[in-house]
């Protein structure tokens, strides 16, 4: 079972609409949870970073939430644009002595149609 | 440099051939990571360096995979006797490291897409 699971696997919405992507994780304890955007053929780019004590973090039209009790996070995208078409990856950084591994979800493939 | 640079961007190798993938991290970044990303999947950890020391290589799938960072800057991931299941995007990331329990941000390169035929 993956330690970080995302849903949906893929999503198609019209330009201008809002959407919410989900992330459930079992990694515990963890130091932070990140959301990355990965355009096709590019490396992941960080959108938000939240520690376990934070509930929400915004970056422009992107808002991430974190519920450490239920081990769930979401990424809400407002007023979507064509350039938002990408994979969105939830990443958890576990607290492991002397290590800095990131545990990646499989990503949600988002397509914005005009 | 301004970002993490990886070369080559694309590599096609015949099965059994050895390949070497290069990563130039951001200057001054202590930590360097290699990840393997299969098509449609999230990246999976391969190995981690702090300066020139390889502190974790638990993700390397077999002894055909070898990584080095001899001077604590540029890193090379070498795959010997490539097989078709090695086909993937290999991502490199660098980070300032960990201070006071805080993980600093990671910057990823664009990756090397390896296709083994």
Question: What digits encode the pLDDT tens for the residues B47-75?
Answer: 999 999 998 899 999 999 999 999 999 99
Residue of B nearest to A107 (CA): B42
User: How much is the pLDDT for A29?
Assistant: 80
Average per-residue pLDDT for chain A: 91
Percent of chain B past pLDDT 70, that is, above it, reads 93
Q: Which of these, B39, B37, B105, lies nearest to A35 by C-alpha position?
A: B105
User: How much is the pLDDT for A53?
Assistant: 87
Nearest to A105 among B31, B42, B45 (CB): B42
Per DSSP, the residues of A30-74 read EEEEEEEEE-TTS--EEEEEEETT--EEEETTEEEEEETTTTEEE
What residues of chain A, 16 to 45, have a C-beta less than 8 Å from chain B? 31-32, 41-45
Q: How far apart are the first and last CA of chain B?
A: 33
Higher pLDDT, residue A11 or B41: A11
Spatial contact of A3 and A92, defined as CB atoms under 8 Å apart? yes
Average per-residue pLDDT for chain B: 91
Which residues of chain B make contact with A44, given a CB cutoff of 8 A? 43, 91, 108
Nearest to A43 among B48, B97, B110 (CB): B110
Using one digit for the tens of pLDDT, what is the confidence trace for A39-92?
988 899 999 989 888 999 999 999 999 998 999 999 999 999 999 999 999 999
Judged by CB atoms closer than 8 Å, whether chains meet at B102 and A43 is answered as no
Which residues of chain B make contact with A109, given a CB cutoff of 8 A? 40
What residues of chain B, 17 to 76, have a C-beta less than 8 Å from chain A? 31, 33, 35, 40-45, 48, 55-56
The answer, yes or no, to whether residue A10 has pLDDT greater than 60, is yes
The number of CA neighbours under 13 Å toward the Cβ of B65 is 18
Using one digit for the tens of pLDDT, what is the confidence trace for B8-33?
999 999 999 999 999 999 998 999 99
The answer, yes or no, to whether residue A101 has pLDDT greater than 80, is no
- For an interface test with A, the pick among B3, B25, B43, B94 (most A C-beta atoms closer than 10 Å) comes out as B43
Question: Chain A: nearest CA to B81, how far in angstroms?
Answer: 25
What confidence tier does B4 reach under pLDDT thresholds 50, 70, 90?
very high
User: How much is the pLDDT for A99?
Assistant: 56
């Amino acid at each position: 079972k993956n330690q970080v699971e995302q849903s949906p696997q893929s999503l198609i919405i019209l330009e201008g609409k809002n959407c919410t992507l989900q992330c459930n994780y079992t990694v515990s304890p963890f130091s932070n949870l990140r959301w990355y955007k990965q355009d096709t053929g590019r490396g992941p780019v960080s959108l938000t970073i939240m520690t376990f004590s934070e509930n929400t973090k915004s970056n422009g039209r992107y808002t991430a939430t974190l519920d450490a009790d239920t081990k769930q996070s979401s990424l809400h995208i407002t007023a979507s644009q064509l350039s938002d078409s990408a994979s969105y990856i939830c990443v958890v950084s576990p607290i492991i002595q002397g290590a800095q591994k990131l545990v990646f979800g499989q990503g949600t493939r988002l397509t914005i149609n005009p | 440099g301004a970002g993490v640079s990886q070369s080559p961007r694309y590599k096609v190798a015949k099965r059994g051939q050895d390949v070497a993938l290069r990563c130039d991290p951001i200057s001054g970044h202590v930590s360097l990571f290699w990840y393997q990303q299969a098509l449609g999947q999230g990246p999976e950890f391969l190995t981690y360096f702090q300066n020139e020391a390889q502190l974790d290589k638990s993700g390397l799938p077999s002894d055909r995979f070898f990584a080095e960072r001899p001077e604590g800057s540029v890193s090379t991931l070498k795959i010997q006797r490539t097989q078709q299941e090695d086909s993937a995007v290999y991502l490199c990331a660098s980070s300032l490291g960990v201070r006071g329990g805080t993980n600093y941000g990671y910057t990823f390169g664009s990756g090397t897409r390896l296709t083994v035929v």
